[in-house]
Structure 1
Amino acid sequence: MQKLRGVATVRIRGGRQEELVNSALGGGLQLWSIRRTSVDELEFSVMLPDFFRLRPYLKRTGCRMHVIGRRGFPFWLDKLGNRKFFAVGMVLFFVGMYLLSSLVWEIEVKGNVKLTEEQILAAARQEGIYPFQWSFRLPDTDVLSKKLTAELPGAAWIGVEKTGTKIVLRVVETTKPEERPLLSPRHLVASSDGVVTQILAEAGRPVVRKNAKVKKGQILISGTIGEGKYTRTVVAKGTVRGLVWHEYDIVSPLTQQTKVYTGESRTKWYIVIAGRSLQVSGFGKNPFAASQTETRLEEASWQTWKLPLGRMKEKVLETEIAERKLSRAEAVEAGLMKAKADVLSKAGADAVVKEQKILHEKTDNGKVYMKVLIEVEQSIVTEMPLVQMQGE
């Protein structure tokens, strides 16, 4: 209460100091911490309202008073009154921080695979979850979780987490058993000429063996099993791998062009507010004929809250095309690498290059011309429907 009402510490000089203290206390004034600091000086503390009632006692006793200390709420207001713009700015700052932290600035969806983010955000908007919404207007997270789960049939559970100005929607989707297609009886036949290196029949009857040469279209695993009247047809399943030869005509240049940085660059700065950027430096057209841009975003935060403010640095790097001379061996290796990459992309992810042979090679007009035979171990199986005749 003393700090709320204000306290002054005063020094009394001259006059009848003891009479001043006694008469003031007798008149109902509150004085404390009364102490003599010298033969002619006396100090004490007094409440601010009683301070203004001391004047008649000072005149009566011939004492002089000097204020040496002030503390309490009234004096703080007086100081603040001399700095009105600072006070208004502080108030506006805290009000602005409260308002900004009370808004929903970002919504993040996690865990969705089959459900699209647009579907989830549309359902969330119906429940009042959208950017620039007041967070205190939203229901409890448990209520929101139940409503969102009910609105999205493909979701088994949707968790709602509020962290500062960000809301995270964690989706757990319902799992359904995979629908297997209905298959008709079939054979498995060779997709290309080759030599069988592995055959594994899961269903059906294998009709070739390991190391056997096969032609394209030849039956490898038959969908017909049994003999005579016990013959029946099945859906042939299995794995057949074999060695297949691929012939390539390769043209590999003796010069290679690569993109390099010249060391020249230009920097642009942007202010980012709520996902929108405003350029503040680095104006003008791009001075480079060829360039590459690198972007880095720095977002502001306060404690655990992520604020919708930040800055973005955009660095434009000048590039140019440099030519590098290749030796004949380097050009041959580059051509072979390109051919192997092409054959593996066509043969499948489980294909393996076993051997490569250069059948013919020549150098002409700054290029290396080659005819290459590449031996690849790959799957050589494809499906062929098994057509049954009527009456069978």
Structure 2
Amino acid sequence: MDGQWLQWMRGMVTVQVRGGEPEQLVNRALKGGLQLSSIQWTSADKLQFELSVNDFFRLREHLKETGCRVHVTKRTGMPFWLVKMQKRKLFAAGIILFFVGVYLLSSLVWSIEVKGNMKLTDEQIYAAAKQEGLFPMQWTFRLQDTDIMSKRLVSKLPGATWIGVERKGTKVIIQVVETTEPDKQELQNPRHLVASADAVVTEIYTEKGRAVVKKNMKVREGQTLISGTIGGGAYTQTVVAKGSVRGLVWYEYDIASPLTQQTKVYTGEKKTKWYAMIGGRALQVSGFGSNPFETFETVVYEEQAAWRNWHLPLGRLKKTIMEVRTEERELTEEEAKSAGMQQAKANVMLKAGTDAVIRNEIVLHEKTDNGKVYMKVHFEVEQSIVKEMPLVQMQGE
């Protein structure tokens, strides 16, 4: 490998020998210290071999002695490359400037990402990092060692127990581990748990306090379910009632579901715009002109240049503008009823809570009029039926 590199530095030529005595030429050249390689006959009267540029000029004296003539068929190596570059100075300068530009751009911090912070804000971490010389558009060779920077950031951010700084190409990642503190329990006053709605109790669990209702018992809104008063007489005391009570609650909904449905359709017409991404800026290079569509959707796709683990601040962005139109679709009565029922169920679950379960649904009334299906629906829902009521001094219960 070193020999090939040395040959490239000196420059090599491939020559074709015609006339005279080619065998004598080769023998005299080798005897005179010239280094010939790849010696071969290309035809009955033509001999070809390779030699360095310096040896090529020393070959002339042997040509006269043997009556041979040579023709150079190939030139390789740095001397010839430099000659070409002299003829293409602007091209060579452009190549050099390109690589210099890429090097300079890859030597800057283009973005900083913060991970793991919950209590500390990104702004606090960015401000502390800037005090340590870490900020966008900073030269990477001016940054401190990551271990030193991590320790200094921990000292500047009291809410952090550990901070890791990692550099990936032009991006710096700050990983934060915050101090964990036990959750402070809110001070709670004595209370009852009462019914939040009229219901039939299906399940009751008392953690603290005294249950005053049983399973399958009908309760009214505001009625005490778990009392915060326990004991009796001189031994009566008040506590924070805790527990869970579930029950069947009834909802009635009037549904009006249209027999037509608006749907979005792509026409297939689109316009594409390309942008060159340099740092955080986008320069449009194609797809100029105004948007030709009245209604449309835009899809953006971005690619960032990378080399190994280095993410370069260069890339391209593709913006596709697709024409859409709105069409009306006729629904059958069954489809309209199903759509209306699904919307009503969603409203019930929103009101009853995420842990609620619809146990039964009954359509009380149904008719079709003026392009809509009208329904009155009765839902039977099992849900949590407790709410808190502060306990006041009571004479008895």
* Cα contact 1:188–1:222 (8 A) shared by 2: yes
Deviation at 1:148, TM superposition (A): 1.3
Partner deviation per Cα, 1:270-323 (whole Å, 9 max, x = no partner): 222112112222223322221111111122222221111111111112222211
Change (3 A) 1:80 1:389: same
* Cα contact 1:30–1:47 (8 A) shared by 2: no
**Equivalent residue letter for 2:131:** Q
Change (3 A) 1:49 1:178: same
* Cα contact 2:301–2:319 (8 A) shared by 1: yes
In the alignment, the residues of structure 2 paired with residue 168 and residue 206 of structure 1 have an alpha-carbon distance, to the nearest angstrom, of: 55
Q: Tell me the residue number matched to 2:173.
A: 168
Q: Does 1:264 align with 2:269?
A: yes
TM-score by length of 2: 0.82
Deviation at 1:108, TM superposition (A): 1.6
Aligned match for 2:280, one of 275, 279, 289: 275
Structure 2 residue matching 1:358: 3-state secondary structure: strand
Deviation at 1:3, TM superposition (A): 7.6
Q: Tell me the residue number matched to 2:334.
A: 329
Change (3 A) 1:190 1:67: same
In the alignment, the residues of structure 2 paired with residue 269 and residue 45 of structure 1 have an alpha-carbon distance, to the nearest angstrom, of: 50
In the alignment, the residues of structure 1 paired with residue 318 and residue 134 of structure 2 have an alpha-carbon distance, to the nearest angstrom, of: 31
Aligned match for 2:219, one of 214, 217, 224: 214
In the alignment, the residues of structure 2 paired with residue 255 and residue 359 of structure 1 have an alpha-carbon distance, to the nearest angstrom, of: 24
Change (3 A) 1:299 1:65: same
Q: Does 1:248 align with 2:253?
A: yes
**Bigger Cα displacement from structure 2, 82-91 vs 283-292:** 82-91
In the alignment, the residues of structure 2 paired with residue 161 and residue 295 of structure 1 have an alpha-carbon distance, to the nearest angstrom, of: 29
* Cα contact 1:295–1:312 (8 A) shared by 2: yes
Structure 2 residue matching 1:297: 3-state secondary structure: strand
Change (3 A) 1:370 1:140: same
Q: Tell me the residue number matched to 1:319.
A: 324
Sequence identity percentage: 61
Change (3 A) 1:229 1:85: same
Deviation at 1:62, TM superposition (A): 12
* Cα contact 1:31–1:44 (8 A) shared by 2: no
In the alignment, the residues of structure 2 paired with residue 44 and residue 254 of structure 1 have an alpha-carbon distance, to the nearest angstrom, of: 89
Q: Tell me the residue number matched to 2:3.
A: none
Q: Tell me the residue number matched to 2:105.
A: 100
**Bigger Cα displacement from structure 2, 268-277 vs 78-87:** 78-87
Deviation at 1:334, TM superposition (A): 1.4
Within-5 A mapping of 1:192-231 = 192-231=197-236
Structure 1 residue matching 2:200: 3-state secondary structure: strand
**Bigger Cα displacement from structure 2, 75-84 vs 301-310:** 75-84
* Cα contact 2:114–2:175 (8 A) shared by 1: yes
Structure 1: gaps (5+ residues): 38-42
**Equivalent residue letter for 2:167:** K
Q: Tell me the residue number matched to 2:389.
A: 384
Change (3 A) 1:67 1:233: same
Aligned match for 1:119, one of 124, 134, 153: 124
Partner deviation per Cα, 1:328-363 (whole Å, 9 max, x = no partner): 222222111111100101111100100011111122
Structure 2 residue matching 1:278: 3-state secondary structure: strand
* Cα contact 2:106–2:313 (8 A) shared by 1: no
In the alignment, the residues of structure 2 paired with residue 329 and residue 75 of structure 1 have an alpha-carbon distance, to the nearest angstrom, of: 83
Within-5 A mapping of 1:1-392 = 77-388=82-393
* Cα contact 2:298–2:321 (8 A) shared by 1: yes
Partner deviation per Cα, 1:146-190 (whole Å, 9 max, x = no partner): 111221222221111111111111111221111110000000000
**Equivalent residue letter for 2:210:** R
**Bigger Cα displacement from structure 2, 80-89 vs 251-260:** 80-89
**Equivalent residue letter for 1:227:** G
**Equivalent residue letter for 1:326:** L
In the alignment, the residues of structure 1 paired with residue 65 and residue 342 of structure 2 have an alpha-carbon distance, to the nearest angstrom, of: 111
Structure 1 residue matching 2:257: 3-state secondary structure: strand
Structure 2: gaps (5+ residues): 1-5, 42-47
RMSD, matched Cα:
3.7
Structure 2 residue matching 1:131: 3-state secondary structure: coil
In the alignment, the residues of structure 2 paired with residue 46 and residue 293 of structure 1 have an alpha-carbon distance, to the nearest angstrom, of: 62
In the alignment, the residues of structure 2 paired with residue 327 and residue 44 of structure 1 have an alpha-carbon distance, to the nearest angstrom, of: 88
Deviation at 1:142, TM superposition (A): 0.2
In the alignment, the residues of structure 1 paired with residue 287 and residue 127 of structure 2 have an alpha-carbon distance, to the nearest angstrom, of: 39
Change (3 A) 1:50 1:348: closer
In the alignment, the residues of structure 1 paired with residue 364 and residue 52 of structure 2 have an alpha-carbon distance, to the nearest angstrom, of: 110
In the alignment, the residues of structure 1 paired with residue 7 and residue 332 of structure 2 have an alpha-carbon distance, to the nearest angstrom, of: 93
In the alignment, the residues of structure 1 paired with residue 254 and residue 51 of structure 2 have an alpha-carbon distance, to the nearest angstrom, of: 106
**Bigger Cα displacement from structure 2, 61-70 vs 238-247:** 61-70
* Cα contact 1:360–1:372 (8 A) shared by 2: yes
Q: How many residues align?
A: 381
* Cα contact 1:273–1:310 (8 A) shared by 2: yes
**Bigger Cα displacement from structure 2, 155-164 vs 183-192:** 155-164
In the alignment, the residues of structure 2 paired with residue 296 and residue 176 of structure 1 have an alpha-carbon distance, to the nearest angstrom, of: 42
**Bigger Cα displacement from structure 2, 68-77 vs 229-238:** 68-77
Change (3 A) 1:306 1:222: same
* Cα contact 1:8–1:67 (8 A) shared by 2: no
TM-score by length of 1: 0.83
